[in-house]
Amino acid sequence: KQEVTQIPAALSVPEGENLVLNCSFTDSAIYNLQWFRQDPGKGLTSLLLIQSSQREQTSGRLNASLDKSSGRSTLYIAASQPGDSATYLCAPPGYSSASKIIFGSGTRLSIRP
């Protein structure tokens, strides 16, 4: 059974800092890994999807890396802004039940102006 851990659970940093969010998973047989953002009271917004054959994916100030062998993914946010404040979730499905995407509990990020 896939288990997903996200560290840290919460993070507060001043505006402008670069930061790294970590995601680890126990079942490395994954199709892909998706990073989401969730604003309070809202649904999830997809940020990046890394295919299992890729090692990283970039979108603007966001860069996500994937190391299947070690069961880890990181989300790098450059030059953080107050608008980046949200909860960030990673989700890797497994081959055994690819429709059943397993989410971590998320990292609650707060960027101080």
CA dist., res. 63 & res. 78, Å (int): 8
Residues 24-43 that bind another protein (CB under 8 A): 31-32, 34, 36, 41-43
Q: Considering beta carbons, is residue 32 or 65 the nearer one to another protein? A: 32
* Cβ neighbours of residue 101 closer than 8 Å, sequence gap 6 or more: 34, 91, 92, 93
Residues 65-94 that bind another protein (CB under 8 A): 89, 91, 93
Residue 40 near residue 81, CB atoms below 8 Å: no
Which residues form the interface with another protein (CB under 8 A)?
Answer: 4, 31-32, 34, 36, 41-46, 49, 51-52, 89, 91, 93, 97-106
